[in-house]
Structure 1
Amino acid sequence: MKLPFKSLVSILLLLGVVFTGGLVAFYSMTRQRLEAEALLRQMLRAKEVAYLLKPGIVYTGHVAESTAAVVAPVRDSAELERFLQALLSSAPSEAIHGLGVWFEPSAHPGERPALALYAQRVEPGQASVVVTDARESQPGEIREQRWYQQAMEGQGAPVFPEPHHVRDSIYRVHARALREASGTLVGVIAVDIFIPELHGILQQANAPGGEELLYVTTPRGRIFAYPGKVPLLEWARSQGLTVASLGELTLGDALQYEARQMPGPRRTTKVEVGESGWTVHVSSAESSLFSSIRRFRLAILLLGVAVWTVLLAVPFLVHRTLRVRQLSFALEERRRLHGVLERSERRLREVLETSLDAVVAVDCYQRITEWNVQAERLLGWTKEEAVGRPAFEVLLGPELQQLLARWEVVAPRQRSCATVQRRDGELLPVELSTTIVQSGGMLVRYLFLADITERQRSEEERTRLLSQLQQRSAELQATIDNMVDSVVVSDTSGRITFVNKAGRQFFGEVGSAGLQLSNSYLELFGVRLGADRVPRVEEMPLQRALRGNVVVDADLSFPSPERRRTLHLRANAAPIRDEHGRITGAVSVARDVTDMIELDHLKDEFVRVAAHELKTPVAIMKSYAQLALKSEPKPTTYRKMLDAINRGADRIDRIVRELLDVSQLHLGRLELTEEPLDLRELAEETVANMAAQSTQHHLWVKPGEPIIIRGDRTRLRQVLVVLLDNAVRYSPSGGRVEVRLERHAHEVEVGVSDEGIGIPVERQARLFERFYRAHSGTSHDRGGMGVGLYISREIIFHHGGSMRVSSEEGKGSTFCFSVPYAPQREREDLHS
């Protein structure tokens, strides 16, 4: 239920009246308390000053009382002078200026007192004291002075008379009557107060600025001390008053001075200072004294105005609430739409600025309205230079000029190639697309330009490389198809994906593309691997390559019905890897070595047959030569001829035996007769026989313990003879040949070292090949068939050992072979 507007106004006015009445009552009550508090603070200030002045008055009273007790019985002038000097010297210089003593004539006959001394400081505030005759400094009769009469009337009580003049000086004294022990009044004693000390107390108590004044008056209303002494005296003289000191001015004069010289009303509070009759006055400006009341009144007034403003504004606010709410909703919706628009424009701006294409907007007046960063880089015009210019001046190029001349909308996502001209005149190929949108009540064309220079270059390069690749592929295909060797490629599953022409001729159906080899295929086609062994599929070179192995010189053989012979192939295989090193297939290259192997067999058979055929006639020739040498003596000429025939027969016999050994090794028919033997003894025996035949060289065996091995004595002697014969043959006359035997953990190593011509490094790798001669064709060629080292290595290999060589050209060579020890039992039996 809604409250009527008039009722609402009446209720608010009533609340305002009630609140105003309460606010006035609260102000009145609080004002009284604040005013009383301010007057109390003023009273406390006056009492504070009175409290500061009281100790000095009390002290002078004590001094006067003490002086009266001491000097009352004194009648001697010198003694009285000494007492006064002592008393004044001991008193503080900042409190007491002088001491005076006067005696009544009744105590000393004569018209004037016999004793009247006055002790004072030589300089104010100093300790040095001088005593003078008080009658010389007092004008007229002392008993007629008002202060003297007041002291006598006081009957010994303290008296603070009004300030009086003595020789242009004003004295403020604390006086009292002197009594003898009998109580008879005999004189008066006076203590002069040090006025600067009183003024100092007032100066410290007064606040700067004159907002608050503290001063002291005498019992008769005379000014005793005033903080602004000089301004007050100047004002009094300007009023026509003849005054020399503050003591001549009254309290009325001070109040009149304050009223005229200090603006604004003032409030004065006074406090009596003990029994002295002095009064401390505190005069404060009401503006300063009651400043808290003024601030409180202003706060109450502002509060009332604020409350009435609120009460009067409520009806207007209520009346406008619905309208304001409606406007707020409209404004919020407008802000939301404005924010959406700003975000949309910001996103559009970000898209335009971060776009990889150059974006240009042209309005219906052919003026450029948008130009992004890519447009600056592509066309060479900055945004500030391009925006606002005619599009025909900036967008140069036949396609762009033709496009700007018409306004039909290009199909969406349709891009075309064009040529644009940069600001510096360079022509660039671009990819162009355009669209027309409605913006701000007009049509705007957006052009999107993408630099395709690099793309064209890439396309040209790609076309060139593709052509080159196709040419290379054709060349490679032609090369592979015309290779004598077969080329077979398989995928990771082992399925054959490519076979060249030679492969198809070699393998026939087995080498067809798309075929996957199996054990049954290998058995069916009689494939053999190595020495007539039927292989399994995983042992084939191509399958081994798929597992990551590189296969070199694997021998394959299989019958070929077309050629009516057994084909022998020597295959190499390797895995095919991608850029990440993963195996994606394998390739195998095989060469037909059938003719070479058959020729090798024929050669070996020829060597074997020739050796056997030569063996018998050589033996007959050697036997007849030896028999002829042993028969009756022959002439020297015949004997030399028979010796030559015998040596030739020996050499032919050695060659025949070597050829037979080579043949047996190649056919795998070398037989060994193994037995336990002392290798050191065999080496010493062989060296001794060689030394007897070659007296021009020094052959020796490094001594040591016996070394028992298991081997063929004849074949091991044959190895030692070959190594010693080579050492002697390629060493200079008088050279040294050393044989050493070194023990190792499981074998013994025999080394034959010479000081001969050495072997070039590049020829050492082939030393153990059949029929290879390292010095063939050089000045160091000593003849021979080049099979000695080959046979020696094979003999050591059949003994379970190995052979190696180390040589340096011009410094000699060392040939070493190692063989295992004989079993422990055989070694013990041989030693026993």
Structure 2
Amino acid sequence: MSAWTLVFCAWMKELDRIVSNNIKTTFQVEGAWARVRLNIVKFSDEDERRRLQELYALDIVDTPGEPAFDRITRLVADVFQVPTCLITLVTEDRQWFKSCFGLQEELERSRSTEREAAICQYVVAEREPVVVTDARLDERFADNRFVRQENGIRFYAGVPIQTSKGNILGSLCIIDTEPRTIGERELARLVEFGRWVVTEIELRRDLREKELLAERLQQVIAKSESQAVLIRQAFESGLEGRLLCDGSGRIVLHNEKLVEWFRVQPAHYPDVRAFAGHLLQSGEARSPQLLERLEQLLNGHVELFAERLDYRLKDGERRVYEVTGYVIGLTETSPQHYYIGIRDRTDEEKIDRMKSEFMSVVSHELRTPLTSIMGFAEIIKERNPEADKRHTYLQTIHREAKRLTLLLNDLLDLQRMEAGQQSYLFSPTDMRSLAAEAVEGWKEHATHRILLQAGPNPLFVYADPERMKQALVHLISNAVKYSPESDRVEVKLMEEDGRIHVTVRDYGLGIPERAREKLFTKFYRVDNSDRRKMGGTGLGLAVVKQIVTAHGGSIHYVSEVGQGSSFTLAMEKYAIPSP
């Protein structure tokens, strides 16, 4: 059985499925012609302008015949047992045939007629299939010269060629010199063939775009030896691994990013198949279809592909890559090559996971105070409690509103800081007084005593007092939150080597070493069940880091799991000028 017979059988099977599933088409018979009723959009000048704009952008009108379209018209004519099948594209003044099977010799040479004589213009204007069982009996076409002539058009059925943008470029039509009818199932099949035409047109467009890119790259490769260094630099630039293969799949060029990632030399392998096979056999790599897709590309069965590659290094680290491949150099003057790109998506996927987790956390953190506020407000409104209870409820509402405000402020502040839009009002600031204010806010905390250790003398830095106090409050808040079994947090100030050091010490859970690199990253929270129960957004330390960095200071920490943590921020001491 030939390949085309298999394709045809697959198409018929799919069309039968669509029809048997009650495709949403109904018939309305009027006189000697019938039409399939689809969603009708009124035709307008704006529709015509958009339609013609897309048609000419495709650069398909007045181009030579192409086998892909000729195969369709031959197959359709055979399926429907008609002498003529056309793929027509309608411009502002004519209809042009991209493919014309069984057309009169004169028209086959010119491949076009004036638009006024085209029955296909009705398909474009009405944006729906048009069926004419006997054109001689239809007043619209009775005087048409192609109908009046001997062996002229009697039967016509045309369906729209509608692009993914919704524009009708023309029609796929079948024509007979004898009157006939067409059933619902047959017309549904013709509609599906019309969609096949659209697919070929859009594939042709995509292929042209790839050809343009391929030609540009091939021109660079073919340039003189004096430009070889520039080509190498261009190929080496960027963040992805790159391979260039010849027509047989032999690797002719690769960048060092691949060597860095996979610790192998691609050039040592006979072709790209062997290189990909090595990746899948080492490092516990998984990509079930990568070798198959590569083979399809090299055999000409696909023009491009994209596959995911999960790769676990020997030290246990897991990396995620996206492997893409496509054909370049499709012209007669440039030999065919294949470009393979490997992009590391590990960090992107981690960020996506962090964002998803952050949205979940923020939703919870917003919902909790809002629930308290709404609950107690409803009690006050509906039950009119006694004065002492009302006062308690109002205190809870106020506390939760402050909590909600702090969360929103953190989100907004961090966004402004990262965008470089945060303004700071610097002035000589006594860190001793500032720390005392921050500690005072926790004086009535039910579970922890906040102990301040500072000498009697002021410790000045040049800072924005509000922002620096915000950083201290975040450090104290974290210390309290993550030391649930302790009853105290220590805040210590000291001067050393011309710098002011502020240390916040807790006796809580501690921080595992694996979290060190990411601890000050926004949205990051140490991943264990003890901390999950405590909530938090993962923004506090990111805000602290941004503030301290903007002040020219530094922040570091020491920690031991189960024993607690100490966070120390250091700022240059500000010398108060003598009076």
TM-score using structure 2 length: 0.37
Higher RCO (Cα < 8 Å, 6 or more apart): 2
Higher Cα radius of gyration = 1
What TM-score results when the alignment is normalised by the length of structure 1?
A: 0.26
